[in-house]
Structure 1
Amino acid sequence: MKTIARWALAGAMVFAGLSHLFWARKEFQAQVPDLVTDTLPIDRDGVVVASGAVEMMLGAALVVLPKERRRIGVILAAFFVAIFPGNLDQALKKRDGFRLDSDTARWRRLLFQPVLVAWALWSTRD
């Protein structure tokens, strides 16, 4: 069961990473907090491209580095925690993206983040 969950997570991460680079690039920009672009020398598109690359690498690593899966699971869980402020910023600033066009939808999405963290940790444990 954990193997199936891990492979599904890996596929979802690669898919999400590709979507950052191609068809949903604009949508993901709604999740980049202003603080990031105000503080760092990078624009929203750069953040989206970089995070997409990280997602693809983490997804691939879940499959091709089986001896490191526990470590990758922790890194992936930390990544999900790190992107949470972007999701929160989207909700607070009422930015539409990914059909999250209501307060209810944006806040409901935040509840899914702990599920992703738990999925990453659980599926990579022996």
Structure 2
Amino acid sequence: MTSRPDVRTIARIVLALVFLGAGLLHLIVPGPFLRITPHWVPDPQTVVRLTGLAELLGATGLMIPRLRRAAGWALALYAVCVFPANIKHAMDGLTSGTGLGWAYHGPRLLFQPVIVWWCLWASTAIDWPFRRPQAAARVAPISMERI
């Protein structure tokens, strides 16, 4: 009998591959990431290297059951922390004439909360919105007769 991987497993593998690719790019081709690093970030080269390393470690952690939840939380936090760079990239892109307008930057910025959720859900840190939490399932509904 063949077992099919479930949607969550596929989502986790895709997410790990995306973070693996991004991590490698941060380390191999840091220039584009340095350009979108906000000016207030100290030592941008080190930060870009560390973000690449964080992505590689997170991708690896997603694939190790014992580390999966911690990796999901770490990658979700990472996605929140890099949001200022995404905003800067959008603002610079709109004013620099790179050709990447709101058709690219708008959805990318709006997708960031989905990435945060994806990290948490694919890592099994959360089940929302697909399953009710166990605690909520144990609570009996309140009937008007008891009030």
The corresponding residue for 1:21 is 27
Q: Secondary structure at the match of 2:59?
A: helix
Aligned to 1:111: 110
Aligned to 1:82: 81
Alpha-carbon distance between aligned partners in 2 of 1:116 and 1:50, rounded to the nearest angstrom: 20
* CA spacing shift, 1:117–1:85, aligned 2, 3 Å: same
Partner of 1:47: 47
Cα deviation code 1:55-112 (max 9, x no counterpart): 101101111x3123122211110110010011112223x148xxx6434133332112
Letter in structure 1 aligned against 2:74: I
**Residue ranges of structure 1 left out of the alignment (5+ in a row):** none
Tell me the equivalent position of 2:59. 59
Q: Does the residue aligned with 1:35 lie in a helix, a strand or coil?
A: coil
Q: Which residue of 2 aligns with 1:30?
A: 35
4+ runs deviating over 4 angstroms: none
Mapped to 2, the partners of 1:54 and 1:17 lie a distance apart of 7
Greater gyration radius:
2
Equivalent residue pairs, number: 115
2:8 alignment partner AA: K
Indicate conservation of the 8 Å contact 1:10/1:62, yes or no: yes
**Helix, strand or coil at the partner of 1:34:** coil
Tell me how far apart the structure 2 counterparts of residues 26 and 49 of structure 1 sit (CA, whole Å).
11
Counterpart residue identity of residue 16, structure 2: A
Structure 2 gap segments, 5+ residues each = 1-6, 128-147
Question: Using CA pairs below 8 Å that are at least 6 residues apart, which structure has the higher relative contact order?
Answer: 1
- What is the TM-score normalised by the length of structure 1? 0.80
Give the aligned residue type for 1:69. Answer: R
Task: Tell whether the 8 Å contact from 1:21 to 1:48 is kept in structure 2 after alignment.
Answer: yes
C-alpha change, 1:95 and 1:30, in structure 2 (3 Å) is: farther
**What secondary structure, in the 3-state scheme, does the structure 1 residue paired with 2:82 have?**
helix
Write out per-residue CA displacement over residues 39-61 of structure 1, whole angstroms, 9 at most, x where no aligned residue: x3x1x222211111111011011
Structure 1: how far apart are the matches of 2:61 and 2:70?
Answer: 10
Q: Distance in 2 between matches of 1:110 and 1:91?
A: 8
- Work out the CA distance in 1 between the residues paired with 2:56 and 2:21: 8
* Cα RMSD, aligned residues only: 1.9
SS at match of 2:36: coil
46-55 or 106-115, larger mean C-alpha shift: 106-115
